[in-house]
Amino acid sequence: MNAPAETRKFEAEVAQVLHLVTHSLYSHKEIFLRELISNASDACDKLRFESIAKPELMAGDSELHIDVSWDPDARTVTVRDNGIGMNRDEIVANIGTIASSGTRRFLEAMSGEQKADARLIGQFGVGFYSAFVVADKVTVLSRRADAPAAEGVKWESDGKGEYTLEPVELAERGTSVILHLKADEDEFLSRWQLRALITRYSDHVAFPIRMPTEKDGKPTDEFETINAASALWTKPKSEISDADYQSFYKSLGHDFNDALAWTHNRVEGSQSFTTLLYIPSQPPFDLMMGGRDERKGMKLYIKRVFIMDAAEELLPNYLRFVRGVVDADDLPLNVSREILQHNRQLERIKAACVKRVLDLIEKLAKDEPEKFATFYKAFGNTLKEGISEDANNRERIAKLLRFASTKGEGTAQNVSLDDYIGRMAVGQDAIWYVTADSYAAAAGSPQLEAFKAKDIEVLLMSDRIDEWMIGSLSEYEGKKLRNVAKGELPLDEADKKKQEEATKEAEPLLKKLKELLGDRVGEVKVSARLTDSPSCLALSDYEMAPHLARLLREAGQDMPESKPTLEINPQHALLKRVEAETDEAKAKDLATLLLEQAEIAAGAQLPDPSAFVQRMNRVLLGL
């Protein structure tokens, strides 16, 4: 027995989405048609997949298609598909309630200056709601393919907080979305305008999109197909224009911007498959909103049958910004997600996708430096994750990395490891770098002083991921990567002798500082790093940088307390002052400030900021 008609309230998140959509997307209101056609295409894809196991689902209507019609008298636009359809519970789940965490992330991303960014609509799976940008009422009629005619469902809402549900009899499977247009949206009652939008946004949908022909300004009962209705990736590259590729990307990635670059390849042999992979020009929002946990953007097809959004199976996490399709000829059609994860053929396809993407990025780096700079600004930090995650391609990824440098152009990250090696002095056997939590902190690090004095280039790494990334990149092209703040510096015989003499001469001062600082330091040493600054921290080769330890503590991670090594410059006036100070309290203030300023420069968190301020005030006032 059918459930009676009823009125329900939208969940709070959906109500918020509706409010934002109807009040924020006025500048891109035509996206409603792209999104509704995309949903219809998904419904047709799902039916085609399910019909492999249940051919009876297609009975009586095997030609899948999408119809877009308009009625100037009723002021409606209808998007209908003969795909899988929905039952009552599915309509409630997909339209009336929060379907996934994507809706919440959509709400977060739609705040502030990003409010009017229509790219968010499709990327977060809330495209249906864009209908309310142009309609003051939306009616949905749907019947699932495996349900009898009497189990059709009618859903209707004005988008203001409530919707109604009632059973209806529907002779045909599929879904119709009927938009009752607002008074000022007459432009969408034009066949020419609707057709132009379909051509712009949906020409490469792989199902026929049909529209009624027109006679005397009125739609007729005859339909004609108006899109290419073919899978773009199956065509020869010679038959596809750049405009075709860009148009397909925009429909695939729900993006208004052009793709930065793409690669289209067909592999023939014992395992045949086609890949069409795009690099966006700007970061997709699922990348920015924690996309490692829930990724889409790579569609898996088998013999042109859509199987799933399989980003995790087709590309590693560090390439999660890539959008595209993979169409395989010889994977089993009844493949499930569990089988996919352990399928050797799919592993080979994944390896091929990684190779193609890295080939494309390398080509940009070599032949199109401006595009590569755009890519690196958008995705450089994401690419760095591959140093740790993809040991097989570590050398290739490392070659693509760019950094700021003491011999670079200010904050610009445009120095490659190859550039650095090419400028290395005769006899230099290491690539030197420093990590910090900002460019200014890296460039101003006291540990750089000896390197500047000897004209040795140092890479300035200031992105949060750098310290973690560099832990997996110990060597490049036979050269060790070394942190200027870690371990002992290599000294020639003259420098060693000078260092030994300075240490011997400073022994009383070193002993005094160790006594004054007590357990706050593990050791006090004369520095080979400093020429101008009074003090700095030195770390062991395997010790975590203080700024990273601070960030991890702030993120709730338990970090073991470590006692730093304090290196000093005995020739500095402040050290001379400590050495000469006979008042123990004043000497302790001075010694502690030397340690604390070294900790601040290294990005460490002071254990007691208030005590630091009071100590600084006493020293400034001469108390």
Annotated binding site for ATP: 35, 39, 81, 86, 94, 101-102, 123-128, 175, 337
- Whether 513 and 526 have beta carbons less than 8 Å apart is answered as no
Reading the block at residue 70, the tokens are 């308009």
What does the alpha-carbon distance between residue 446 and residue 532 come to, in Å, rounded to a whole number? 8
- Whether 279 and 261 have beta carbons less than 8 Å apart is answered as yes
For tokens 């066949």, what's the residue? Answer: 191
- Whether 580 and 414 have beta carbons less than 8 Å apart is answered as no
259-293 in b/e form (b: 16+ CB < 10 A) is: bbbbbbbebeeebebbbbbbbbbbbbbbbebebee
Q: What string of DSSP letters covers 31-49?
A: HHHHHHHHHHHHHHHHHHH
Strands 565-568 and 323-328: unpaired
Strands 273-280 and 298-302: unpaired
Distances, alpha carbon 305 to alpha carbons 28, 332, 404, in Å = 31, 12, 46
Residue of 348, 359, 340, 443 whose CA lies nearest to 400: 359
Strands 535-538 and 152-157: unpaired
Count of helix runs (H) and strand runs (E) in the chain? 23, 22
What does the alpha-carbon distance between residue 323 and residue 249 come to, in Å, rounded to a whole number? 8
- Whether 462 and 437 have beta carbons less than 8 Å apart is answered as yes
Which residues are part of a known binding site? 35, 39, 81, 86, 94, 101-102, 123-128, 175, 337
For tokens 């970090």, what's the residue? Answer: 559
Residue of 570, 361, 354, 391 whose CA lies nearest to 471: 391
Query: Amino acid identity, residue 303?
Result: K
